[in-house]
A and B are shown apart, each in its own frame.
Chain A
Amino acid sequence: MSAVMKLKVIEGHLGSLSGFSKPKINYEQYETPAHIAAIALYTIQTQFESLENKLVLDAGCGPGMLSVGASLLGAAAVIAVDIDYEALQILNQNIEETETTNIDAIQCDFLDSEMYRWNNCFDTVVMNPPFGTKNNAGMDMKFLKMGLNLSSDCVYSLHKSSTRYISVLLLHRSHIEKKVREWGVKGEVIAELRYNLESSYKFHKHKSKDIAVDLWRLFHPS
């Protein structure tokens, strides 16, 4: 299976996007690194053909790393939702700079979006949800559940992998795996992504810090 753009080219485009100007802690705003977003989207397209010609939803889009990437990889249309107006302003800027014209943004509370008429409407839902730590406990799982409600096919979601490895050590299933069973859907990790912070920020005083995320693919059993 193929993609309309080479991995290096997408990564180059995504690397030039603007990020959060002032990340808000209460929304757990952190950027999806261009490298991770590029590999994730490229994998989604080349292994499962879930972007090209598809109606895509980016849930909690922030400055739109995944939205723009999906559009560049040939999505027919992308709906991008976020609760934060400032993040959406940056998305608008990124849309303008990359000349991607098929992304439409909505400011709304994604977790409240059951009320919209879009259950099972999207071919593909992509998200890099809040990690769901401390004050936002369980937020990542709420995002996943809502994503499943709105998709007719697959949800692709990025999650910190540390929790999964701890679970493996403790010999029990990870939180997501438990939820996947509980919801009666199917799910698998389709890519384990590593990102070395030092390699991009040479000025960092700390030792190199590896960020590890898993790309999950969840879908309704046929």
Chain B
Amino acid sequence: MKLITHNMLTSKCLKGVVTGYPLAISATNIKVTEVDFNPDFIVRIIPKIDWEVFWKAADSIGHSDGLPQTVESKLHDNNDFLKKVHRVLLEVEIDEGHLTCPESGRQFPITKGIPNMLLTEAENKFAMLLKSANDLYHEVFAPMPRQI
């Protein structure tokens, strides 16, 4: 799992979890694989990233060296900066470990680089029950005229 992916994942699917973001990373094996450097893409992707979450994630796995804690637009012309972002965002990979939901503590394993975000059958049933209760409310009860 690359950090670009981590930046997008949440555990909001879990019952009672409101934001489920960011997921904490525990890594037992990290690898770095070379990816073609594309400065234009990095400039374009930076605004889409939650930078604080990206920085903290990088820091938590020991890869924040040289990465500024806040990003400024003037850095977009700085090739060293873009290369650093490229490396941490696309080349550093968590190969083995797990992600932890910040609210519930539920862990999602990462095996051979692939995070498993699927819910168990029991979790799924509960989520569906919640969803149908919510649908029922919006379709049936919410449109009813309110009595004073």
Task: Name A residues whose Cβ lies closer than 8 Å to a Cβ of B.
Answer: 53, 55, 76-77, 79, 83, 85, 88-89, 92, 101-102, 104-109, 112, 115-118, 121
Residues 45-78 of B contacting A (Cβ, < 8 Å): 45, 48, 50
Instruction: Check B102 for interface membership: any CB of A closer than 8 A.
Output: no
Cβ–Cβ < 8 Å partners of B97 in chain A:
none
Residue of A nearest to B4 (CB): A77
Q: A101-B34, A117-B50 are in contact. Are A107 and B8 (CB under 8 A)?
A: no
Cβ–Cβ < 8 Å partners of B50 in chain A:
117
Q: Is the CB of A53 within 8 A of B5?
A: no
Q: Is the CB of A83 within 8 A of B113?
A: no
Docked pose: A92 CA to B9 CA in angstroms: 20
Q: List 6 A-B contacts (CB under 8 A).
A: A79-B8, A102-B90, A106-B114, A107-B116, A117-B10, A117-B21
Docked pose: A53 CA to B36 CA in angstroms: 11
Instruction: Check B40 for interface membership: any CB of A closer than 8 A.
Output: yes
Q: Name 15 extra pairs, CB < 8 A, besides A85-B116, A101-B33, A112-B13.
A: A53-B41, A55-B41, A55-B45, A76-B38, A85-B114, A88-B114, A92-B112, A101-B35, A104-B5, A104-B93, A107-B114, A107-B116, A108-B117, A117-B7, A117-B21
Max chain A C-beta neighbours (<10 A), residue from B5, B7, B20, B34: B5
Q: Is the CB of A106 within 8 A of B115?
A: yes
Minimum CB–CB distance from A73 to chain B (whole Å) comes to 13
Residues 1-45 of B contacting A (Cβ, < 8 Å): 1-2, 4-5, 7-10, 12-13, 20-21, 33-36, 38, 40-41, 45
Cβ–Cβ < 8 Å partners of B9 in chain A:
106, 116-117
Compute the total of residue contacts between A and B using a CB distance below 8 Å. Answer: 72
Residue from the list B5, B36, B117 in contact with A79, Cβ < 8 A: B5
Residue from the list A53, A89, A118 in contact with B38, Cβ < 8 A: A53
Minimum CB–CB distance from A1 to chain B (whole Å) comes to 17
Minimum CB–CB distance from B106 to chain A (whole Å) comes to 14
Q: Is the CB of B12 within 8 A of A115?
A: yes
Task: Name B residues whose Cβ lies closer than 8 Å to a Cβ of A.
Answer: 1-2, 4-5, 7-10, 12-13, 20-21, 33-36, 38, 40-41, 45, 48, 50, 90-91, 93, 112-118
Cβ–Cβ < 8 Å partners of B8 in chain A:
79, 116-118, 121
Residue from the list A76, A102, A106, A121 in contact with B48, Cβ < 8 A: A121
Minimum CB–CB distance from B8 to chain A (whole Å) comes to 4
Minimum CB–CB distance from B60 to chain A (whole Å) comes to 18
Q: Is the CB of B12 within 8 A of A104?
A: no
Docked pose: A88 CA to B114 CA in angstroms: 8
Cβ–Cβ < 8 Å partners of A104 in chain B:
1-2, 4-5, 93, 113
Max chain A C-beta neighbours (<10 A), residue from B48, B50, B91, B93: B48
Minimum CB–CB distance from A93 to chain B (whole Å) comes to 10
Cβ–Cβ < 8 Å partners of B10 in chain A:
115-117
Cβ–Cβ < 8 Å partners of A83 in chain B:
118
Docked pose: A104 CA to B90 CA in angstroms: 9
Q: A115-B12, A116-B9, A117-B21 are in contact. Are A107 and B48 (CB under 8 A)?
A: no
Cβ–Cβ < 8 Å partners of A115 in chain B:
10, 12-13, 20
Minimum CB–CB distance from B116 to chain A (whole Å) comes to 5
Residue of B nearest to A106 (CB): B115
Cβ–Cβ < 8 Å partners of B117 in chain A:
106-108
Cβ–Cβ < 8 Å partners of A55 in chain B:
41, 45
